[in-house]
């Protein structure tokens, strides 16, 4: 039986970045779910229970911090590892994201997509 594909949910409102990451993850053998706003991302996360979530902070609907607060209230979804993928690099934002339950924090400008994929694979081990 083939190994079950790992499911990644990418919540990102920048369509270019969203498509780029989606393509890279698909090439790496992931099953990819996407959402362009926080509300839709939250609904998708709770319904699909992906193996991991890449979450932007500045999002329409509900921002990444709100997303973290909401997902942690769901019994099944709260265990999903979440990597914040954002351009907010202020220490306060980083600390707040981690306090709200994010597992890691990557600043978009500092990481190549291939490095992001490596991080995801590490977290899923």
Give per-residue pLDDT as tens, 68-81.
999 999 999 999 99
Segment holding 85, helix H or strand E: strand 82-86
- Read off the pLDDT band of 1 (50, 70, 90): low
Give per-residue pLDDT as tens, 18-71.
999 999 999 999 999 999 999 999 999 999 999 999 999 999 999 999 999 999
First to last CA, the chain: 20
What pLDDT is stored for residue 89 in this prediction? 80
Q: pTM of the prediction? A: 0.94
- Read off the pLDDT band of 14 (50, 70, 90): very high
CA atoms of 120 and 124, how far apart (whole Å): 6
- Read off the pLDDT band of 16 (50, 70, 90): very high
CA atoms of 86 and 94, how far apart (whole Å): 10
CATH for the stretch 7-117? 3.40.50.2300
Q: Would the pLDDT of 90 be above 70? A: yes
């Amino acid at each position: 039986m083939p190994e079950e594909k790992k499911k990644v949910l990418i919540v990102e409102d920048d369509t270019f970045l969203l498509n780029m990451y989606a393509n890279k993850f698909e090439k790496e053998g992931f099953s990819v779910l996407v959402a362009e706003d926080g509300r839709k991302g939250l609904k998708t996360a709770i319904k699909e229970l992906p193996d991991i979530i890449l979450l932007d902070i500045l999002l329409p609907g509900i921002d990444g911090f709100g997303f973290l607060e909401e997902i942690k209230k769901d019994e099944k979804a709260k265990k999903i590892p979440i990597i914040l993928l954002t351009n907010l690099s202020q220490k306060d934002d980083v600390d707040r994201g981690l306090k709200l339950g994010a597992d890691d924090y990557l600043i978009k400008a500092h990481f190549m997509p291939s490095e992001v994929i490596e991080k995801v694979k590490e977290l899923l081990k």
